[in-house]
Structure 1
Amino acid sequence: MSFGLTIEKLFLIGLVALLVVGPDRLPGFAAQLARLVTRLRDMARGAESRFKDEFGDDVDLAELKKLDPRQYDPRRIIRDALKEEPVRVRPPRTPKAQTEPTTSATPYDGEST
């Protein structure tokens, strides 16, 4: 990861550090910076090894990066959804109504019950 730093930018940062800190204390600050970078690198390696210990080696970090919510742009998702052709669904075929054989209705007998 270069963070967009080029040789020219690094040279400019070094020159500004030389002017601000001074040539006397610059080696001490450079040594402190080197120790800091080493500690940060060790912390990152330790975090990665703990992650692999807890989740196992079968976890692919590239797959986890796909789940990052920052990569989803709602405008792009909506634009892509509107570009898609709508799916044409045919209405379901309804079977013809089956008619039951007609029988004569039983006459009403008021005295039966």
Structure 2
Amino acid sequence: MFGINGSELIILALLAVVVLGPEKLPEYTQKLAQLVKSLRGMAEGAREKLREEAGDEIADIDWRRLDPRQYDPRKIIRDALLEENEPSPAQPQLTQAPRPAALPAQPTVSLTKPRAESAQDASLPDGARAPFDDEAT
């Protein structure tokens, strides 16, 4: 409760008795009790309004599981690196190269993609200048 232990609470209560005096202390304790009751009422009203608007499935949520303080970034990264994903087309594919029967088969990595022949791939004739784009950066 606000980082105050029992002995500090007793000291604060005695200080309040001395500062406020015995004649005003009951009045201020009643005001404090009313404030606490009104805060509880507001919190309960907000909880009921949330339950009305969000439905009953809001009661089924495990809020402790969603607490960000429980996440360890090292564990998240380790899990992400160890999980097996389907390879994307941009990643090199492991292929089995044919091997003689005496040698064990080892995977090889193919880093080249087959390219379609296009007009840009064609070589320029001897002595011809390459096209120049003056708007290119």
Equivalent runs, 1:49-60 vs 2, <5 Å: 49-60=48-59
Q: Structure 1 residue 80 and structure 2 residue 79: aligned?
A: no
Q: Residues 66-98 of structure 1: CA distance to partner in whole angstroms, max 9, x if unpaired?
A: 4455x266xx40x335666x54x8x522577xx
Q: Kindly provide the CA deviation profile for residues 35-63 of structure 1, in whole angstroms up to 9, marking residues without a partner as x.
A: 00010010010010001011111213753
Distance 2:16 2:37 in 1: 20
In the alignment, what sits opposite 2:102? Answer: none
Amino acid at match of 1:80: K
Question: 1:83 and 1:94, CA in 2 relative to 1: closer, same or farther beyond 3 A?
Answer: closer
| Alpha-carbon offset, residue 15 of structure 1 | 0.8
Give the TM-score, by structure 1 length. 0.58
Deviation at 1:19, TM superposition (A): 1.6
- CA-based RMSD of the aligned residues comes to 3.6
Q: What is the percentage of aligned positions where both structures have the same residue?
A: 31
Q: Secondary structure at the match of 1:93?
A: strand
Q: How many residues align?
A: 91
Q: Which has the higher contact order (CA 8 A, sep 6+)?
A: 2
Amino acid aligned to 2:44: R
Per the normalisation by structure 2, the TM-score is 0.49
CA gap 1:68/1:7 in 2 versus in 1, 3 angstroms: same
- Listed as ranges, the matches of 1:1-113 within 5 Å are 2-60=1-59, 62-69=61-68, 71=69, 76-77=72-73, 79-81=74-76, 87=82, 92-93=94-95
Cα distance in 2, alignment partners of residues 16 and 72 from structure 1:
40
Between structures 1 and 2, the one with greater helix share: 1
Distance 2:67 2:75 in 1: 19
In the superposition, relative to structure 1, how do residues 82 and 66 fare at CA in structure 2: closer, same or farther (>3 Å)?
closer
More strand by share: 2
